[in-house]
Structure 1
Amino acid sequence: MRVLYIITDLSTGGAETMLFRLLERLDRKRYEPMVISLMSMGDIGPRITALGIPVQALNMASGWHSPLGFSRLLRQIRRARPDIVHTWLYYADLLGGLAARLAGVSTICWGIRSSNLEPDKTRWTTRAVRHLCAALSHRVPRCIFSNSKTAKQLHIALGYAARKMVVVPNGFDVSRFKPDDDARSSVRAELGLSPTTLLIGMIGRYDPLKNHAGFFSAMSMVLPYFPQVHFVLAGKGIDSGNAELMQLIEQKGLSKNTHLLGPWPRLMASLDLLASTSHAEAFPNVIGEAMASGVPCVATDVGDCAYIVGDCGRIVPAGDMTGFASAVREILNLSPAKRTALGESARAHVASLFEISAVVRQYVVRQYEVVYEYLRGNSQ
């Protein structure tokens, strides 16, 4: 069965990472996958190519509405002749869904990977595309995958076709994300810190929705109680060249205790606590990865964060940075043994609910169901 995955871009991000994880474990005896990125190959494209899966980048950049770019997409779909087109993210849902319909593909699955889009923190074009997708959802896709229960309900309220919505959560490789004493010691050594230094991490691109300002506000209320704690941040735009970010750090008096690392592969297992101060999320990968690594999390109550964290960390109302700081202090006040036990329960929680192979099976079953129903309908 030929499956064409269409995604807006292949730069490092939650959706892109989950697509790679899905493709990495797809049964290649039953599926023949192909990938089209509307924009670039990014960092994930070469990794998918290394799996032996063809990847085409259309380099549409910000010209998502370009007739020329759309015609190229249409030609690629017709050339691929897929049985299923599975799109990821709003722009790919819109353009990929319409092009697949014009190409004669009947089995189209959309993929929703976000929840609330606050007007002052997201582009108006993204919100406009989402509203257009809501209208088209009743006619274009046969099913709509959401990685979040909260996002499913939000999109139904926006007008998305409720009967087509299916929740399949993000998945995590618990053999890759796991407690690692070597990572703990080596990261601290590279940062010039004591082996016993407490590390609080925030991992994610620099974006208003991630609320870095809130993170530093909360940490300024943690530092007086734990003067030896250090804060490590990683992700796109997280470096000393980001003048806005540097100003935030200096204003809160955190310069001596803060490390901006950009991409940093071994960071997760080195942490004592992961902080997620986001204004909006659907199903953040970083929380699942941290928990699988045995790291307790404090997160704002957005998207499915409360469901993911369960009773293995702390959940705080979005925007309440005083409460966030209090929750962080509560976990740091635990003895090392109790923090370790909390991390162990977090890891077991992720392994039981979000293990990657089980998540991939959910996609496979749903996709086969869709095709089976279509073929059965045509045979009657």
Structure 2
Amino acid sequence: MRDRFSLLEGFALKVVNVITGLGRGGAEGALFRLCVESPAAVRMVVVSLTDHGVHGEFLQRAGVEVVALEIRSPLSAPWALLRLWRMLIKDRPDVVQTWMYHSDLLGGIAARIAGVPVCWGIRQANLSRGIKRSTKFVAKICGWLSKIVPAHAISCSERAVQAHRQYGYRVSMTVVPNGYDLSRWQSPELAPTSRSAFGLAESDLVLAHAARAHPQKDHANLALAFSKAYRQDPRLKLLLCGTGLEDGSPYLQALPFTAEARLAVRAVGPRDDLPQLWHMADAFVLSSASEGFPNVVAEAMASGLPAIVTDVGDAALIVADTGIVVPPNNPAALAAAMLRMADLPKEERRGLGQAAAARVAENYTVDRMVDGFMRVWQGVLSRKNA
């Protein structure tokens, strides 16, 4: 925990964070960084509506209290709501911060009944593609309740704010971009993973990608684009990381790679050594049809990789002039961007990567993220006590 936030001098704060789950997602990672990097004057508690997940274990190792409500089906939601309400009545936190729609709904209702101000977490920038009907229904209910339940909402994305305004949300929103511990991605002690471990040559041009297997990530777009680009430049290799992207997985086998391009794909599944892998790669590629604030783009940039991104969520804002932005759902445009990146001289590509790392260091540090959350919470408490 750090004590460099002057706005909290002489001020103690207890925050209960309610999140749908604690798996390997971007929201979970942002919550983890917020908890472990918050000032010592802030006591963080994390409540997962489901289980502890991998980030629950990380949080507990860092000394953060984690409670799992173990919701297994909609039938258990009322009991979880009652348990959460009792917890809030007993512990009397200053603020409840929720993350994602189901926790916005259940955490928001519990906090409202308990008399604790709640800040919702808005992270999705596209509610039309790849979203379950049940999730859309919950988001719609949240839109109806947004006038009366939350005191404020924090979004990681400018486009997410715009999307939720159109969706009927009527709550004051503040954009607090995700922030990163740059030492994890830029440490001079980081040793790049050996290319030979993945059957890659030093002359190969490695495009890195990280995402879970999900329609929103539009891996069909990636497969079609890479196949087209590989046909013209066989130096290209594609490194795929993420849950569901294990070598031989049914999801991966169903993607429309050509037979030749499939031989140039290295699918390694979920990894905990992404900084080392990124230092082995030449560029990063995001193929998504929908995003809020894509953590993987900022993390790759922090590692010194230039990024090729689809224009979804705040991806173009993050990259700015340090990479290449193409329309979503357009394999031809994505393939052209891959070839353009491959054609750049090595020093020019490295220069783009250095500019990308500098942009993240200037705009997307974990300190800035923590400061943004603290300011919103203090504003909420000031209005409550006025």
Query: Is TM > 0.5 for Structure 1 vs Structure 2?
Result: yes
Equivalent of 1:254 in 248, 256, 261: 261
Shift in Å, 1:179: 7.6
Q: Separation in 1 of the partners of 2:314 and 2:124?
A: 11
Shift in Å, 1:315: 0.7
Q: Deviations over 1:254-299 (max 9, x none)?
A: 2211111112213222221111111100100000001111101111
Is the CA contact (8 Å cut-off) linking 2:203 and 2:235 kept in structure 1?
Answer: no
Is the CA contact (8 Å cut-off) linking 1:216 and 1:252 kept in structure 2?
Answer: no
Q: After superposition, where does 1:209-228 map in structure 2 within 5 Å? A: 209-228=216-235
Shift in Å, 1:225: 2.4
Give structure 2 stretches of 5+ with no counterpart.
1-12
Q: Separation in 1 of the partners of 2:75 and 2:208?
A: 35
Q: Deviations over 1:102-139 (max 9, x none)?
A: 1221x1100011110225x2210100111110111111
Q: Separation in 1 of the partners of 2:246 and 2:74?
A: 28
Which residue matches 1:149? 158
Q: Separation in 2 of the partners of 1:55 and 1:306?
A: 35
Which residue matches 1:2? 14
Matched, 1:158 2:167: yes
Q: Separation in 1 of the partners of 2:35 and 2:194?
A: 30
> Identity percentage over the alignment?
36
TM-score by length of 1: 0.94
Which residue matches 2:6? none
Which residue matches 2:38? 26
The letter of the residue matching 2:212 is: R
Equivalent of 1:306 in 304, 316, 329: 316
Q: Deviations over 1:149-181 (max 9, x none)?
A: 01101101111115x111000112222112879
Is the CA contact (8 Å cut-off) linking 2:20 and 2:50 kept in structure 1?
Answer: yes
Shift in Å, 1:183: 4.3
Is the CA contact (8 Å cut-off) linking 2:319 and 2:356 kept in structure 1?
Answer: yes
1:21–1:319 CA distance, 2 compared to 1 (3 A):
same
Which residue matches 2:4? none
Is the CA contact (8 Å cut-off) linking 1:288 and 1:350 kept in structure 2?
Answer: yes
Q: Structure 1 segments of 4 or more deviating over 4 A?
A: 179-183, 249-252
Q: Separation in 1 of the partners of 2:241 and 2:147?
A: 39
1:200 counterpart SS class: strand
Which residue matches 1:234? 241
C-alpha RMSD of the superposition: 1.7
Q: Deviations over 1:322-379 (max 9, x none)?
A: 0111111111101110000010011111111111112211111111121122112xxx
Give the total of aligned pairs.
371
Shift in Å, 1:215: 0.2
Q: Deviations over 1:301-327 (max 9, x none)?
A: 111111111000011111111011111
Give structure 1 stretches of 5+ with no counterpart.
none
The letter of the residue matching 1:146 is: S
Matched, 1:364 2:374: yes
